[in-house]
Structure 1
Amino acid sequence: MSLDALLAFAALCLLLELTPGPNTFLVLRHSLHGARAGALTAAGSAAGALVWAGAVAVGLAALLEQSADAYRLLKVLGGLYLVLLGVRAFRSSRREVEQVPGAAPGAPPVGASAAFGAGLLSCVLNPKVGLFFLAVVPQFVPASSGVRGALLLGAVEAAVALGYLLVLSAVAARAVTWLRRPAVTRALERTSAAVLTAFGVGTVVSAR
C-alpha cells in the first residue's frame, strides 16, 4: 500500500472526525472530570475503531450490509446505549443541584474503566463505523494486502481518532476551572445529556 493512499485515507478519517458525533460529546463530557478521563474515553473510542477494522477484515461487518435485521438490531442497541448515557448525564446534573451547601462543586469522578468502556461501547455499537470501513477500505486496500491492509487502515483511523479526541480533551480539560463552575457544569451536563439522548433516539427511530 502506497504512502499516498495512507495519507489520503488519514485525511478522509480526519474530515469525518471533525463532524461532531456521540464520541465527541462523550469525550467532552468526561473531560469535565479531568484530562485523564477524557483521554481514556478517547482511547476507548480508538480501540472501538480497531474492533471494527478487525471485524471488516474477517468479513463479519459484511453481515450488517447484507442483513437488515442484524443492522437494525445493532442500531437499536447503540441507540439505547446513547440514551442510557444521556440519562446518566442528566441524573449527574441533578445530583449537583442537590449538593448540600459547602460541598465541593463538580461532577462525580469517572473511573478509568468506566471512561474507557464508554468510549469503546459508543464506537462498537455504532454500525456506521463498520459500514464506513466496509465501504471505504476496499478502495484503498489492494487485493494482495487482504486482512493486513484492512487492519493497517484500521490502525490509521484509530490513530487519527485518538489524536483528534485527545486534543479535544486537552483543550476542554485546560478550561476545567471555568467549566467546573456549578452553573456551567450543570449547563454542559444537561446539554451533553440532551445531545446524547437525541442521538440515541434518532438512531433507534432510524432503525425502524
Structure 2
Amino acid sequence: MTAVSLLAFAGLCLLLSVTPGPDTFLVLRISLQSAGAGIAAAVGSALAALVWAALVGVGLAAVLEDSAEVFRWLKVAGGLYLLYLGISSLIRARRAATPAAAGLPPRRSYSRRSGFGAGALSTLLNPKVGLFYLAVVPQFIPHGGNTLETAMVLGVIESVIGFLYLAVVAIAAAKAMAWLQRPKVSSWLERGSSGIIAALGLGVLASSTSA
C-alpha cells in the first residue's frame, strides 16, 4: 500500500469524522456533564472502530455483507441502542432540572467508565461504521497482501483521526462550560442532542424494516 493510498484514506476518514453523527452528539452530550467522561467516550469509540477493522481483516465482515438478514438485524440493534440513549438522556435531563432550579449543581450521570462504555457501544452498534468498513476499507487492501495486517493499519488510522476529532469536540465543550452550564442553555442542548440521537435511532429502525 502506497503513501498516496494512505493519505487518500486518511483524507476520507477526516471528511467522514467531521460529518456530525451519533458519536459526535454522544460525546458532546457527555462532555456537557464531564469533560473526562467525554474524552473517555471518544477513546471507547476509537477502540470499538478497531473491532470493525479486525472483523474485516479476518473475513467476518464479509459474512455480514453477504447476509442481508444479519446486517438488517445489526441495523435494528444499532437503532434500538440509539433510541435508548436518546430517551434515557431526556429522562436524565428532566430529573436534573429539579436540582438546577433549586440552585444546586446538576448530578453527573456519566463517569469515565460509563462514558467509555457508551462510546464503545455506540460505535459497535452503529451500522454506518460497519458499512464504512465493509464498503471502503477492502478497496484499500492490495491484492495478495496481508489482509488482517492491512485492515488493522487502516483501522488505526481511522481510529486516531476519529478520536482526535471527538476529543476536540469534548475539549471545546469543556472550554465553553461556563456558558453551557447556564441552566436554560444546558437543558436546551441536553434535550436537543438527546432528541437528535433518538431521531437517528428511529431513522435507522425505519430504514431497516423497510429494507
TM-score by length of 1: 0.95
Determine the C-alpha separation between the residues in 2 that align with 1:184 and 1:101: 13
Gapped runs of 5+ residues in structure 1? none
Instruction: Give how far 1:83 is off.
Output: 0.7
2:50 is matched with 50
Amino acid at match of 1:132: F
Q: What is the CA-CA distance between 1:163 and the residue it aligns to?
A: 0.7
Matched, 1:34 2:34: yes
1:20 alignment partner, SS class = coil
Which residue does 1:193 correspond to in 2? Answer: 194
Matched with 2:83 is 83
4+ runs of 1 displaced by more than 3 Å? 100-103
Residue-pair matches, total: 208
Residues 60-100 of structure 1: per-residue CA shift (max 9 Å, x gap): 11122111111111111111111111111101111122227
The residue that corresponds to 1:161 in the other structure is 162
> What RMSD in Å do the two structures reach over aligned CA positions?
1.4
Deviation at 1:109, TM superposition (A): 3.8
State the identity %.
50
Query: How much does 1:107 deviate?
Result: 4.7
Amino acid at match of 1:88: S
Residue 22 (structure 2) aligns with: 22
Kept in 2, the 8 Å contact 1:41–1:119? The answer is: yes
TM-score computed with the length of structure 2 as normaliser: 0.94
The alpha-carbon deviation at position 138 of structure 1 amounts to 2.2
How far residue 106 of structure 1 moved from its aligned partner, in angstroms, is: 3.2
Q: How does 1:1-208 map to 2 (within 5 A)?
A: 1-99=1-99, 102-143=102-143, 144-208=145-209
Q: Deviations over 1:121-180 (max 9, x none)?
A: 111001221221121122212121321001100000000100111111111110011111
Q: Which runs of 5 or more residues in structure 2 are unaligned?
A: none
Contact residue 92 and residue 109 of structure 2 kept, 8 A: no
